[in-house]
């Protein structure tokens, strides 16, 4: 996400870019935090999980 992005719009965009699918975003499933491990160069992050329904597109592996 970029600063100022709408959460659901960013989610839809990322799924489209990374998996080639169009989705409708449903309910929020979880928030998971990783406080990082500086000794192993693991950054801090927060992972948000959502229920999404596939509505179109052909699933494919993204470049990343």
Nearest Cα to 2, choosing from 18, 14, 20, 16? 14
Q: For the segment 23-60, what is each residue's pLDDT rounded down to a tens digit?
A: 999 988 999 887 666 667 777 888 889 999 999 999 88
Model's pTM, two decimal places?
A: 0.72
Instruction: Give CA–CA dist 13/35, Å, rounded.
Output: 26
Which residue ranges make up each domain of the chain? Answer: 7-57
Band of residue 61 on the pLDDT scale cut at 50, 70, 90: confident
CATH superfamily of 7-57: Nucleoside Triphosphate Pyrophosphohydrolase (3.90.79.10)
């Amino acid at each position: 996400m970029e600063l100022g992005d709408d959460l659901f719009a960013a989610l839809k965009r990322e799924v489209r870019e990374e998996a080639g699918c169009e989705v409708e975003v449903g309910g929020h499933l979880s928030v998971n935090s990783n406080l990082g491990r500086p000794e192993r160069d693991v950054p801090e992050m927060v992972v948000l999980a959502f229920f999404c329904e596939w509505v179109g597109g052909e699933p494919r592996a993204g470049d990343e």
